[in-house]
Amino acid sequence: MNKEHVQQNGIAVNQLGYRSRDAKIAVIAGQGGRFHVVDSLNGEVVWQGQTSPAIEDAASGQIVSRGDFTAWAMPGTYRIEAENGQASVPFVIADEVYEDAHRALLKAFYYFRCGTKLDELHAGLWHHGACHLTPAFVHGDESRQVDAWGGWHDAGDYGKYVVPGAKAVADLLLAFEFYPEAFAQPLPLPESDGRLPDVLHECRYELEWMQRMQDEASGGVFHKLTTLRFPAGDVMPEDDTAPLYLSPISATATGCFAGAMAMSARVYSPYDETFSGSCLRAAERAWAWLEEHPNAPGFRNPADIATGEYGDAQDEDERYWAAAELYRTTGEARYHEAFQALAKQDSFEKYELGWADMGGYGTFAYLMSEREEEPELAQELMTGLLQRADALAAVSARDGYGISLLPDQYIWGSNMVVLNHAMLLLVAGRLSGSEDYERHVHEHIHYVFGANVVGMSYVTGYGAKPILHPHHRPSEGDGVEDPVPGLLSGGPNKGLHDDYAREHLAGKAPAASFADVMDSYSTNEVAIYWNSPAVFVLSHFV
């Protein structure tokens, strides 16, 4: 570890603040000792305590101690001061801390919309024209075109991808199933009508695009819709006019599609039976394709397409999720049998929530189902879920910043991993009735909003020191000083996957391998499937 690159001073806090009744931790670089909670308005010391013993934190490369001031719950604006003169940025203690950020993280999906004008009434400073409305060529059969407009831009580019889109939809629909009261207030959106919660309006915009991605003839689902190359970093979406191409059908896209559509059929049924029925029919056609293609090869980009691949060598986890959702929605024995057969396989993880490892969604669906379960299998899956949650909690308890990432897990999109873990901890607590995991979830949120080694909030527009230069083409090209608000940065990535990172971040500790610059796409890009677990986790606390 190159100590020359390690910041050794500072006090990191959740820059949004802390709810009165929640765990409150400040992370203090160095040996620690006495620390004080100071009223920022008058400079008065209102509470003081002793830090925990200092530890060498492998992920951050720091010596850190932790100041626990959970006992101080009086609403107000404060800062933390240490005896060596260090001080944190100001923060609040209040009953409502996360509401605005929760709404912004959800509203970000509106800003990701493709194929429609973002008007000034709803988009504010970040409005722009409609984009990507031309039909797409089917790759390998350019005589055929498909009108697949709509959906969400995936990330800082303008590609649209079924697999990560399905994860994002699943996270948002799970959040609505678990915490419907968190979505009671309108955003608003152009479609807001009071009859359908806005989170369901937003997901429907993506789901209708996904339905256009289903091949009419076979029921399989095209993997993605992109241009052949990414445009320059400052090109606005309406100016990206290169031809669009549908990449070939893949089993992973078809499996994720089936899972998301079956889930949507259930969630939308009380609100819109027609749309619910279209989702179920689409899911069943996709499942039929999966049954007809039991040994489909993993997806790889065609040779002339250089946009994001989202390649995945195996599809058992996507089939597992699809079978679970179809069984939960329909109760049909054939889906139950398929799920049980897939559950016996050990070729995939059953508790992961990433775009490449979707098994966790299948496990959640089965354990949450009101259908008749196979008791031994349900118990086995529940035991495994709690073992996974306990393992994450143990890592969190040892980590200097209180999160569940090991040093080698600071990968591309590490903040997604942080929030996926927090999401799993919440689901495990909900299904088991245990409250033991919630304290660790607090610290995952604190980390995202500033209690981290770089001392920044990883969400645009939120916190005293938010990221300002995400890898996000509209934010770069729109001429507005501030980036689109509510976007979650990918976060530290020890892999040095872009030129800027290779030049400027080599030798940094894993958790410090971050740069708030547009050029560092491997640390500072944004994505729909990073925002979506953030929405789920904050939904628990609003």
3-state secondary structure 223-262: CEEECCCCCCCCCCHHHCCCCCEECCECHHHHHHHHHHHH
Quick one: three-class SS letters along 89-110? CCEEEECCCCHHHHHHHHHHHH
Catalytic residue among 81, 157, 206, 315: 157
Per DSSP, what are the bridge partners of residue 471? Answer: 525
Burial (CB < 10 A; 0-12, 13-18, 19+), residue 435, is: exposed
519 is catalytic: no
Tell me: the pLDDT tens digits for 193-213? 989 999 999 999 999 999 999
pLDDT digit string (tens) for the chain, length 542 residues? 333 333 445 999 999 999 999 999 999 999 989 999 999 999 999 999 999 999 999 999 999 999 999 999 999 999 999 998 899 999 999 999 999 999 999 999 999 999 999 999 999 999 999 999 999 999 999 999 999 999 999 999 999 999 999 999 999 999 999 999 999 999 989 999 989 999 999 999 999 999 999 999 999 999 999 999 999 999 999 999 999 999 999 999 999 999 999 999 999 999 999 999 999 999 999 999 999 999 999 999 999 999 999 999 999 999 999 999 999 999 999 999 999 999 999 999 999 999 999 999 999 999 999 998 899 999 999 999 999 999 999 999 999 999 999 999 999 999 999 999 999 999 999 999 999 999 999 999 999 999 999 999 999 999 999 999 999 999 999 999 999 999 999 999 999 999 999 999 999 999 999 999 999 999 999 999 999 999 999 999 99
Give the closest residue to 483 by CA, choosing from 466, 500, 506, 507.
Answer: 466
What is the DSSP code string of 63-89?
EEEEEE-TT----EEEEEEETTS-BPP
As a whole number of angstroms, the distance between CA 484 and CA 468 comes to 9
Tell me 54's DSSP state: P
Instruction: Give Rg (Cα) of the chain.
Output: 23
Q: How big is the CA angle at 234 (ends 229 and 238), to the nearest 5 degrees?
A: 75
Cα-flanking dihedrals φ and ψ of residue 352, to 5°? -95, 155
Looking at residue 373, what is its pLDDT?
85
Residues 6+ apart with CB under 8 A from 367: 378, 381, 382, 385, 431
Read off the tokens for 431.
Answer: 């299904």
| Angle separating helix axes 359-368 and 316-330, nearest 10 degrees | 20
Give the closest residue to 13 by CA, choosing from 387, 504, 456.
Answer: 456
Contact 222, 114 (CB under 8 A): no
Catalytic residue among 128, 206, 525, 540: 525
Collapsing DSSP to helix, strand or coil, 4 comes out as helix
Read off the tokens for 508.
Answer: 């940094």
Query: What is the Cα 294 distance to its own chain's centre?
Result: 30
Catalytic residue among 128, 201, 223, 471: 471
CATH class for the region spanning 99-373: mainly alpha
Give the closest residue to 360 by CA, choosing from 428, 290, 288, 445.
Answer: 428
Quick one: three-class SS letters along 160-185? EEHHHHHHHHHHHHHHHHHCHHHHCC
Please state, in angstroms and as integers, the Cα–Cα distance from residue 413 to each residue in 54, 225, 419, 502, 533, following that order: 29, 22, 10, 17, 12
Per DSSP, what are the bridge partners of residue 78? Answer: 39, 91
| Angle separating helix axes 414-432 and 528-539, nearest 10 degrees | 30
Collapsing DSSP to helix, strand or coil, 278 comes out as helix
120 is catalytic: no
Domain residue limits, the chain: 99-373
Contact 487, 531 (CB under 8 A): yes
Catalytic residue among 68, 208, 316, 516: 516
Query: What is the Cα 151 distance to its own chain's centre?
Result: 17
525 is catalytic: yes
Please state, in angstroms and as integers, the Cα–Cα distance from residue 428 to each residue in 335, 387, 393, 431, 446, following that order: 24, 10, 11, 5, 20
Contact 129, 206 (CB under 8 A): no
As a whole number of angstroms, the distance between CA 3 and CA 88 comes to 23
As a whole number of angstroms, the distance between CA 212 and CA 162 comes to 11
As a whole number of angstroms, the distance between CA 161 and CA 28 comes to 41
Residues making up the chain, counted from first to last: 542
Give the closest residue to 224 by CA, choosing from 307, 338, 312, 120.
Answer: 307
Collapsing DSSP to helix, strand or coil, 403 comes out as coil
Looking at residue 84, what is its pLDDT?
86
Looking at residue 3, what is its pLDDT?
33
As a whole number of angstroms, the distance between CA 127 and CA 309 comes to 29
Instruction: Tell the residue number behind the tokens 């075109």, with chain if given.
Output: 145
Looking at residue 9, what is its pLDDT?
56
